[in-house]
Amino acid sequence: MIYEKLKERLDQLIELGERVLSTKHSPPSGVISADYVSDDPFYQWKAGSLSFLNNVFGENSTHFQGFQGSCKYAFHSDAFQGQSILKAAKEDLEGGYLKKLDTLVSADIFTDFLEMAEHLVEQGYKDPAASLIGGVLENGLKRIARNHNITVKSNEDIGALNSKLAAAQIYNRLMQKRVQVWNDIRNNADHGNFSAYNLDLVEEMLRGVRDFLGQNL
């Protein structure tokens, strides 16, 4: 699903790029300059393209850096280079060479599960909600660790992953304590200690885990 959304958005940007290129016009009489393209569509297209390349490929990627460096002003040559980079990005996306796509897909799946948990919370079912949120958190921590080249063992739980990530300074000690609180709620839910937490704590856990994964994935 997310792959199709990305492809659709990239196709829209490439189509918009073609429109920008079609506005090519010469400089005014007496002005020595390269050919221009129209300002408004160019800067709209540029902003959307940079946002897409940053969100999907990352600000350190060759795609984002190349576009940012070569597509600066409303010259036809700048727009042409930017359009070429978008087409190269499309080839990488369709060829399965996008490393970050795996993370984006995971984030999309996590969102679906957290929406399920939110529905459970709204219905007052705090216990299955706590277990579900805890499962999403554990998988999210594993994904974050792998994204930072931290070895993950199959038997490592939230507690172990939390310690590793904090030790590697992926997040600070305060965040580590918050993750541990969520882990305690999840463990109590899984072991039937339902009186050890209430619905309000599960609601806070849901909001916290959603924000945490949004910031770190």
Read off the pLDDT of residues 145-173 as tens digits, 9 standing for 90 and up: 988 899 888 889 999 999 999 999 999 99
Tokens representing 163 are 């310690």
Nearest-angstrom CA–CA distance, 123 and 138: 24
Torsion on CA atoms 125, 131, 135, 141, rounded to nearest 10: 100
pLDDT tens column, 11-56: 999 999 999 999 999 988 777 778 999 999 999 999 999 998 887 7
Q: What is the pLDDT of residue 107?
A: 62
pLDDT in the model for residue 95: 75
pLDDT at 98: 64
Termini Cα distance of the chain: 18
3-class DSSP state of 1? coil
Outline which parts of the chain fall under CATH 1.20.120.330: 100-216
Domain 100-216 superfamily per CATH: Nucleotidyltransferases  domain 2 (1.20.120.330)
Confidence of residue 217 (pLDDT cuts 50, 70, 90): confident
Query: What stretch of H or E contains 114?
Result: helix 100-122
Burial of 107 by CB count in 10 Å (0-12 exposed, 13-18 middle, 19+ buried)? middle
The CA distances from residue 198 to 37, 195, 217, in Å, are 60, 7, 28
| pLDDT-above-70 percentage for the chain | 92
pLDDT at 109: 65
Which pLDDT does position 147 carry in this prediction? Answer: 86
